[in-house]
Structure 1
Amino acid sequence: MPMSESKPDSPPSTNPSETISMTRSTTLWPFGLIFSISVPVVAALLLFQLDSFDPAPIPTHEFTRHIVSVPRRNARMLIGSDTIGFGQLLAPEDLAYDPHSKLIYTGCSDGWIKRVTVNESAAATVVENWINTGGRPLGLVLGHNKNEVIVADADKGLLKVTEDGKVKLLTKEAEGVEFKLTDGVDIADDGMIYFTDASYKYNLSSFIWDFLEGKPHGRLMSYDPSTKKTEVLVRDLYFANGVTVSPDQNFLVFCETPMRRCKKYYIKGKRKGSVDVFIYNLPGMPDNIRYDGEGHYWIALSTEATFSWDMAQRYPWIRKGLAIMERYTGRPPMERNGGVLAVDLEGKPTAHYYDLQLSLVSSGIKIGDHLYCGSVVYPYIIRLNLTQNPALANI
């Protein structure tokens, strides 16, 4: 039996008005299609031309699409990992570990600096609200006094939290320019504090505009607690982020996120005050960097070096298009394969831990056999047993 019954064709219309209407519709439909397509295109082009946002070209020698070779990888680090403080840690951006108390200090998006116990069992973890800065604590480092923490607060500036819970502002400007996004921090053995202001133009809520504009608004600075002097060490950095003092105390390593690189700044010796390469062509955008005391730095990578970000870096008009989308509709997600890269004292990669489902990983520290990772989006710390889930040699 046929699926539908066929009907004889209808006879052609003999009504002149109907014939004219059909002919007119047949003639005009391509123009209607063209009109429906061209109007939004013209509107988009007009919007593009009229929008005042003007991204800058990034010098070609400042950026490369090559990626450094890594000998060992774990590309599925979420398999075998567990979560610490689920739901109690809102975007724990940086992690600072105190081996004496066995506590991790971390700053969260609700303004709380929280203390997290380190146990073999994730279920036995205890999360304690310690101090609320009233801002957004990002970088953290233990001070030289007991239970003292130095905080790079994106909103407040460089802070010191004392053992008795008092929050003291150390500095919030340099050379007459206030910090807009105080980000990474570390402290040297002599007490000097080194920190970054990722951007003196954009704050944390609008940081993406710093990336899209493509201009170097970041600074690396020092604060001397004995003189209370703030000094700018390096200017014109592309979103200056994590910073760490080398174990020999001779130099700093600091990250420039959109440029996928880390540099050295010498604080002692004949090269004092000069800047050098530590590692370029990272497989992702670096956030914080930590030294583990065992010969390795751990660099958090918020996202891999995707093709879309690579093109945006190279062509200002793409960044302008993304800026218009960000303003009116929201830009498409471009972050994936976040993780942590381990490098030796010379800046040579040794292992890369990442996962396609991860993004915006902001810190990584090795404590015993485990890698602990912070984030600016997840409500927990990610923990991975490196012995049970090692990075394997590339085949």
Structure 2
Amino acid sequence: MIQCSVALASAVAFLAMAYPLFDRMPHPYDGVRAVEISLEMQTVINRVGSPFAFDPPFDRNERLRSATRLFEGQIHGSESVAVRPNGELVMLDKFGYLHRAHPDTNELYVLNASALYIGPGRPLGFHVVDQGAALFVCDSLKGLVRVELDGPRRGDISILANSVEGRGPISYANDLSVAANGTVYFTSSTEGVVALNAPLGFYDTMASYMLNAVRGDMTGRLLAYDPTTRQTRELMDGLFYANGVAVAPDQSFVAVVETSAYRVQRYWLTGPRSGDVDTLVEGLPGAPDGITVASDGNFWLSLIVPASPIMKYLGPYRWIRQLLSHALHILSPLVAKRWGCVVKISPAGRVIDVLYDPDGERVSMVSAVTEHEGRLFLGNLGGSFVSVLDL
């Protein structure tokens, strides 16, 4: 009898401790459960290419190893690099500080001594506007904001859009692109929030991305901000972690990265297909992050980490993904293997060129590419530097 009571008590204690693993996800998704992934999306995920096969057109090379690291140990997690018309570099680190560096005749670039704090929150995608006088920034907490770089208002921050009528706040603004008519197309990765890494003092977008992936969260959106009316409207929803954005040079469509689906979508802006959506490229061998326009009218697409088999094999099993979410902090170093990969694709979705650092020896976790006067400036999610590569 005593043995039975002890066994029963142990079972009850185990269930009491294990119940949260089945009932909710880790912070900041307390009380949120994993959701079912549709058969249509699972089919898309199953097309993901192998990150280690290096089959054409993704032939192996080491061209990214020629990149030079800039400001090593000084710039932490700047997801992009903006270049002003005068050649000055602008970077926003993961702690919310804005850094500037000017070209020098003796050195490659010289980092300015003072940094401007625009936090709290984590600045993600950003671009120079008004001939370099300001930045438009997607901030993980504040939404779409404008930061003045020069003049008497230097350092002023204006919130352009932090909500969408009828859909509540924008809690995870990620990247943007400005059209020729001034419209700002930008993404909200998810209706969830960004995980705060309190001990290290920054908002951890990589952890948030992985939590959203295993949850099966498909609440990403493509939004459009009209600077004339100051209104924001929703163009697409249901995206599996919406990320990079780039308006095509001919303004016919806007490309939208869907990271957890390993693809890039097109939202058509003009012509008979206006308002339609189709796929630009899919089945990528790595998780796509940022997308920008190249000088020749094509696109630079950064693949931040190699493709993981987790969602391919565990996608249909919601409860396994629910349990897995509690171990991501242990598994993430194994899943997020180091590599560097930048892909050039045409407006028709054809892979034109691929640049690798196959084991991340020199460049890894490339999150965005900015091309300027024959050079590629590479932001990265986790490194303590940015990089530049001469083409």
TM range (shorter): 0.7 to 0.9
2:47 alignment partner in structure 1: 65
Code of the aligned partner of 1:334: V
- Alignment match of 2:140 (pick from 154, 161, 164): 154
- Alignment match of 1:339 (pick from 314, 332, 341): 341
1:363 matched to 2:368: yes
2:89 alignment partner in structure 1: 104
1:52 matched to 2:24: yes
Cα drift, residue 107 of structure 1: 1.6
In the superposition, relative to structure 1, how do residues 143 and 385 fare at CA in structure 2: closer, same or farther (>3 Å)? closer
Separation of aligned partners in 2, 1:238 and 1:293: 29
In the superposition, relative to structure 1, how do residues 77 and 210 fare at CA in structure 2: closer, same or farther (>3 Å)? same
1:126 alignment partner in structure 2: 110
Separation of aligned partners in 2, 1:116 and 1:323: 40
2:285 alignment partner in structure 1: 283
Matched residue SS, 1:158: strand
In the superposition, relative to structure 1, how do residues 44 and 310 fare at CA in structure 2: closer, same or farther (>3 Å)? farther
Matched residue SS, 1:86: coil
1:1-395 mapped onto 2 (5 Å cutoff):
46=18, 50-53=22-25, 54-62=33-41, 63=44, 64-67=46-49, 70-71=56-57, 73-77=59-63, 79-98=65-84, 100-117=85-102, 123-128=107-112, 129=114, 131-134=116-119, 135-162=121-148, 163-164=150-151, 165=154, 166-176=156-166, 177-205=168-196, 206-326=208-328, 331-336=332-337, 337-354=339-356, 355-357=358-360, 359-386=364-391
CA contact (8 A) 1:311 1:318 kept: no
Matched residue SS, 1:210: helix
**TM-score (normalizing by structure 2):** 0.79
Separation of aligned partners in 2, 1:331 and 1:298: 26
Count residues in correspondence: 345
Instruction: State which drifts further: 338-347 or 123-132.
Output: 123-132
Separation of aligned partners in 2, 1:266 and 1:243: 13
CA contact (8 A) 1:105 1:140 kept: no
Q: Which runs of 5+ in 2 are unaligned?
A: 1-6, 26-32, 197-207
Cα drift, residue 120 of structure 1: 9.1
CA contact (8 A) 2:48 2:307 kept: no
Instruction: State which drifts further: 364-373 or 195-204.
Output: 364-373
Separation of aligned partners in 1, 2:390 and 2:59: 14
Code of the aligned partner of 2:134: E
Cα drift, residue 111 of structure 1: 0.9
**TM-score (normalizing by structure 1):** 0.79
Matched residue SS, 1:333: helix
In the superposition, relative to structure 1, how do residues 114 and 271 fare at CA in structure 2: closer, same or farther (>3 Å)? same
Cα drift, residue 286 of structure 1: 0.9
RMSD of aligned Cα (Å): 2.8
Cα drift, residue 84 of structure 1: 0.9
Separation of aligned partners in 2, 1:114 and 1:224: 28
Separation of aligned partners in 1, 2:21 and 2:210: 21
Matched residue SS, 2:382: coil
Give the number of the structure whose alpha-carbon radius of gyration is greater.
1
Cα drift, residue 60 of structure 1: 3.2
Q: Deviation per CA, 1:113-170: give whole Å up to 9, x if none.
A: 222345798x531123554211321111122354121111112111112233221111
Matched residue SS, 1:61: helix
CA contact (8 A) 2:104 2:110 kept: no
Cα drift, residue 190 of structure 1: 0.7
Separation of aligned partners in 1, 2:68 and 2:16: 46
Matched residue SS, 1:265: strand
Q: Deviation per CA, 1:197-244: give whole Å up to 9, x if none.
A: 111222254443212210211111011111110111111111110101
Separation of aligned partners in 1, 2:268 and 2:289: 20
Percent identity reads: 26
CA contact (8 A) 2:190 2:220 kept: yes
Q: Deviation per CA, 1:305-343: give whole Å up to 9, x if none.
A: 13345334454344223212137x665530123421111
Code of the aligned partner of 1:182: A
